[in-house]
Amino acid sequence: MRVAVVGATGLVGTKMLQVLAERNFPVSELIPVASEKSLGKTVQWQGKDWSVVTPAMAVEMKPDLALFSAGGSTSLEWAPKFAAVDCTVIDNSSAWRMDPTKKLVVPEVNGHVLTLADKIIANPNCSTIQMVMFLKPLHDLYAINRVVVSTYQSVTGTGKMAVDQLMNERKGVQGEMAYRYPIDLNLIPQIDVFMENGYTKEEMKMILETKKIMEDDEIQVTATAVRVPVMGGHSESINVSFKKDFDWKEVRGALTAFPGIELFDNPEHFEYPMPLLQAAESDAVWVGRLRRDDTMPHTMNAWVVSDNLRKGAATNAVQIAERILELKS
């Protein structure tokens, strides 16, 4: 396939290129796409230099597939233009996620909804992806009633400027600020803008996207999203209540059997998932600290960790592309 990567020079775009190579995705021609200021630069991939082009130039080249990671406004403007030349677009921004005419997909959870007619497919929010991966096998068994989630989100979710801010603060160097406040030795309980209801846009993404991906509007979700001075992945403390009681042997069996989940839950040996030690550069969603919540019926607590640039973004997008390839064959 002729594959365009829109936003190829950014953190997620770079990770998309890495994942395409690692998974041996059949790329006959790579089309790295970035803004006008990057025109003429080259991206090295698979031992070759590929020239960076603008979105307009890429559309004229009529790629078979376009992986977008260049922000919502770019997606809204350009995704329909790529789709119009019979290119399948997989978009990592929030632009199309809640559009009722577009699919929002985590392949292990709802990959069955994909068809060859889908020309713009939305990649979910990174925090939502890892949460629904954990929830799906348990929802199938016990039917989820309510989810309370608090996130501990890596600076890599904001981008290179945020990583630079953290590193500059550690060195005592004055530099460009991605955040309103210092992030080193600090937590910022705001991710994205505040909405009228007091939640942030990030929190509302988790609430609304979960219902759409899980195909169940009755699941109640409430979220608090926090930026933390961490690299390697996002972590989530999840409290989930079911409509019927659960059995621990069955829970562990379902999680272990679910593709893409790594159960790492041995408190007696101090084994639990951490972003730096387990999640970083892993495509898995890591689950640990499983325990019953004795204050509520049919309720458990869990700790869920995943690399937000991989399964939370690049890997999930490439997995969607692989599903499309399967449909074509």
Read out DSSP for 212-259?
A: HHHT-TT-EEEEEEEE-S--S-EEEEEEEEESS---HHHHHHHHHHST
Q: Rounded mean pLDDT of 299-319?
A: 98
Residues 154 and 87 placed together within one structural domain of the fold: no
3-state secondary structure of 139: helix
136 lies in the same domain as 66: no
Residues 208, 213, 219, CA angle at the centre, nearest 5°? 60
Whether residues 141 and 7 fall in one domain:
no
- Looking at residue 99, its pLDDT comes to 97
What local confidence, expressed as pLDDT, does residue 270 receive?
98
Average pLDDT score over residue span 68-93: 97
Residues 6+ apart with CB under 8 A from 69: 5, 6, 7, 10, 12, 13, 16, 92, 93, 313, 314, 317
pLDDT digits (tens, 9 = 90+) for 197-245: 999 999 999 999 999 999 999 999 999 999 999 999 999 999 999 999 9
What is the rounded distance in angstroms from the CA atom of residue 218 to the CA atom of residue 212? 11
pTM, entire model: 0.96
Let me know whether 86 and 234 are in one domain.
no
- pLDDT for res 329: 86
**65 and 113: one domain?**
yes
Tally of structural domains, the chain:
2
Whether 215 and 258 map to the same domain: the answer is yes
Note the pLDDT of residue 37.
87
181: containing domain? 127-307
Give yes or no for residue 106 having a pLDDT over 90.
Answer: yes
Q: Are residues 90 and 38 in the same domain?
A: yes
Instruction: Report yes or no: 66 and 4 within 8 Å, Cβ to Cβ.
Output: yes
- 35 with 132, same domain? no
> Which H or E element spans position 148?
strand 144-153
Q: Are residues 148 and 233 in the same domain?
A: yes
Per-residue burial over 276-295, b = 16 or more CB atoms within 10 Å of its CB, e = otherwise: eebbbebbbbbbbbbeeeee
The helix or strand, by DSSP H or E, that contains position 210, with its residue range, turns out to be: helix 201-214
- Is 138 found in the same domain as 23? no
Mean pLDDT of 297-312: 98
Annotation marks residue 126 as catalytic: yes
Q: Which of 112, 139, 234, 298 is catalytic?
A: 234
- CA-nearest of 27, 33, 60 to 46 is 27
Q: Using one digit for the tens of pLDDT, what is the confidence trace for 123-172? A: 999 999 999 999 999 999 999 999 999 999 999 999 999 999 999 999 99
pLDDT recorded at residue 296: 97
What CATH number did the domain enclosing 17 receive? 3.40.50.720
CATH number at residue 237: 3.30.360.10
Of the candidates 112, 126, 139, 269, the residue annotated as catalytic is 126
**289 and 320 in one domain?**
no
* Shared-domain flag, residues 153 and 220: yes
- Closest CA relative to residue 279, chosen from 180, 139, 156, 109: 156
Known catalytic membership, residue 87: no
Which pLDDT score is estimated for 36? Answer: 87
DSSP string, 42-56: EEEETTEEEE-B-HH
Contact 19, 102 (CB under 8 A): no
CB atoms under 10 Å from CB of 34, counted, come to 22
Mean local confidence (pLDDT), 283-294: 98
pLDDT in tens, 36-45: 888 889 999 9
Q: What pLDDT is recorded for position 40?
A: 84
DSSP-assigned beta bridge partners for residue 239:
148, 301
